[in-house]
Chains A and B, each alone.
Chain A
Amino acid sequence: MLDVIIALVPALLVSVTFFGWNALRLTLACVITCLAAEALSRKAMGRNLGIDDLSAVITGMLLAFNLPPTLPTWMAVVGSVFAIVICKQLFGGIGYNPFNPALAGRVMLLISFPVFMTRWSEWTIPSPIGMDAVTSATPLGLVKTAVTSTGALPFTFDGATMLQLLVGNQNGCIGEVSAAALLLGGIYLLIRRCITWHIPVAYLATVAIFSGILWIHHPQQNLPPHFHLLSGGLMLGAIFMATDMVTSPVTKRGMLVFGGGCGILTVLIRKWGGYPEGVSFAILLMNAITPLINRATRPRVFGAPKGGKKQA
């Protein structure tokens, strides 16, 4: 678990660089609330305290990373309590929650406080997507608004824009902006064997292929696949959220199916959904069918007849 925290540090550093105090404020609020909620609810349920597995710290960090920089602290606290108490401990604690607690917390906040959850900080960034001065929406948000109202993309894509997205100089939730920092953390997780490549690669590849088909079909109205990959919460989701062991399949084939499903749903929501971003919903929906995926991808027992009789 400590490894996951270490892997999140680059993204945290980028976040503090770009969002300053707000990034620290939200991260601390979520981590402290998650730890307290975990300890108190375990105590109330008569279980041993068990916060030393650090899983509550990870939930707190991931929830904070999924919040916009100007969100009031008390909302972050509410989201954290919801994530830990309702989504994790009431299901039995670590290992028993069907949904990723941090994502469930974020989606609860998004539905309950839609204005605050989509109010992006008004901070000046040096032309991340071809516009100067003040930015008031995420790149994906701009695209959604523009495509819905005018039927065309609001800007063009060049190498410089891509570099800004990669570094993280874009608007968005505090932990999702820097694809590079998140990838660095992902590589660390792979090396430390905390995750396997199956889910992130299947997820990202599916997004790239699906959005690529749309883009080739109609480049005026659809984002190019590299923009999809580098914007919004995709990297954070694919590397840190979809790979949550508890809520993702246990078989390798299942992980590929899971990642692929997340990818398709993400593009579907980004393209046709009401929200500009679909990573959270995509992963939560796939969490819901994880037990079915496990069942469907059960390996053939060594020595059992091929193709024929399936296990149980």
Chain B
Amino acid sequence: MGFIKAKYNAPGGVHPAYHKDLAAEQPIVEMPLPASLVVSMSQHLGKPATPTVKKGDSVLRGQVIGESAGFISAAVHAPTSGTVKLVAPVATAAGPQATAITIEPDGEDTWVEGISPCPNWQALGKKEIVEKIAAAGITGMGGAGFPTHVKVSPPPETEIDTLILNGAECEPYLTADYRLMVEKAAEIWQGALIIAKALDAKTIYVAIEDNKPQAIAAMQEALPAEAGDAQVVELKTEYPQGAEKQQIFAVTGREVPAGGLPLNVGIVVENVGTTLAVWDAVVNGRPLTERVTTVTGGPVAKPGNVLARLGTTTADMVEFCGGTSGAVAKIISGGPMMGFAQADMSGPTTKTTSGLLLLGPESVHAYESMPCISCGRCVGVCPMNLMPNELSQFLEAEDYETAEEYNVMDCIECGCCAFECPAHRPLVQHMRRGKTQVMINRRNQ
């Protein structure tokens, strides 16, 4: 009951070494408040939030310190009570600078007034649910950080029949979503029911890779009667099963049109962590001020899954996990496939920090890019059926028009091509640069 195996499998995909055993069996632990929190105004896709506090202000946990700055934007809340020490630009994990508010916690962790739990959420209307999600500042917590209130309020003419909870967690090393599914299955289901109500979606699927049998069992066991014909869908373990379009195909056989959105095929996909945040926001009335992050990798003394306040720095997170034992050659925010390499450990966590990965020198190699030998491996593994070999050559020649003609904009930047390339060509890096340049060229036209 409530369990099926995925009938479909999207094109391409790779099988990197998963290394999930480092942190998979570590229960989620809550980290005590650090000495300071650096809260970025750019924790989501879209416009950064506008700061509403200044240096010297006292703030309470859950108080809005950054206002949503447009339709595709999200509010930012104080992760604890304390004093604003600094409002200044800080580099985000991906590189660009964004304003950040540094808060010195007072240790009281006092919630702002007006937190109103709503255990009887079934009485809420669609609009009220969306408003509560927006007020809580929830964004996609799987990685991209798309504001959730936008996702759950599709245009009125669009009919959404299916909600998919993304529990694939196909990135190597990361286990945060896995732990949430094992430990918080019932709450995740409640969150799913809330989102399904907001969307009027009739069917709910939870998509989990078959290398996480405990998560599959937990989600199946916790399946509530109200969820109707909801199903836990077991996916073949393969990167990138967590990619939205590929997952939609694996679960339903529907193909999101090139350049389109999941809602074009009547589907919304939400990460399981996001779903839990929705439950917390609607049922407990609490805005998003914390998340579970997997702190892992060879040099981390005690890898684990840490529930920490947003704005905790990498250094504090690693310190909480016993510090490092051995040399650190690379610091990555996110997973090894799609995460961002960091210059140091000073960066803060955000709503999208699913993992912090430290790699030792034995896991980090520098390669020289060689000419393409047309082996075709990148073509075989591309989950979008692109031809990264050709595209990378167009992009090396800075021929953005041809690259656009050859569908560079359909690239999902999963990195399978670069992972597979025997000539060590930085294929996905070419794609990212190419996509950015095409966007700039379009805007300038």
Contacts and interface: CB of A to CB of B under 8 A. Distances in A.
A64 to B, nearest CB: 22
B258 A302 contact: yes
B370 A303 contact: no
Interface residues of B, number: 31
Contacts of B373: 94-95, 245-246
A299 interface: yes
- In the complex, which of the residues B249, B256, B410 has the most CB atoms of chain A within 10 Å of its own CB atom? B410
B83 interface: no
Contacts, number: 75
A250 B370 contact: no
B371 A251 contact: no
Contacts of B267: none
A304 B372 CA distance: 26
Contacts of B407: 301, 304, 311-312
A113 interface: no
A303 B384 CA distance: 8
Given A249-B376, A250-B376, A301 B386 contact: yes
B269 to A, nearest CB: 15
Interface string B10-42: 110000000000000000000000000000000
B410 A302 contact: yes
A246 B385 contact: no
B362 interface: no
A38 to B, nearest CB: 14
B258 A246 contact: no
A300 interface: yes
A158 interface: no
A93 to B, nearest CB: 7
Given A93-B371, A94-B373, A311-B406, A303 B258 contact: yes
Contacts of B256: 303
Contact of A245 (B375, B386, B410): B375
B258 A95 contact: no
B405 interface: yes
A248 B372 CA distance: 13
A299 B406 contact: no
B255 interface: yes
A302 B384 contact: yes
A132 interface: no
Nearest to B376: A250
A272 interface: no
A293 to B, nearest CB: 11
A21 interface: no
B143 interface: no
A302 B255 contact: yes
Interface in A291-305: 298-305
Nearest to B405: A312
18 contacts: A94-B370, A94-B371, A95-B370, A95-B373, A248-B374, A252-B376, A255-B376, A299-B385, A300-B385, A301-B407, A302-B10, A302-B249, A302-B255, A302-B383, A302-B385, A303-B257, A303-B260, A305-B257
| 5 A-B pairs with the lowest CB-CB distances in the bound complex, closest first | A250-B376, A95-B371, A303-B258, A299-B385, A245-B375
Interface of A: 53, 92-96, 245-252, 255, 298-305, 311-312
Given A93-B371, A250-B389, 6 more contacts: A94-B373, A95-B423, A245-B373, A246-B374, A251-B379, A303-B260
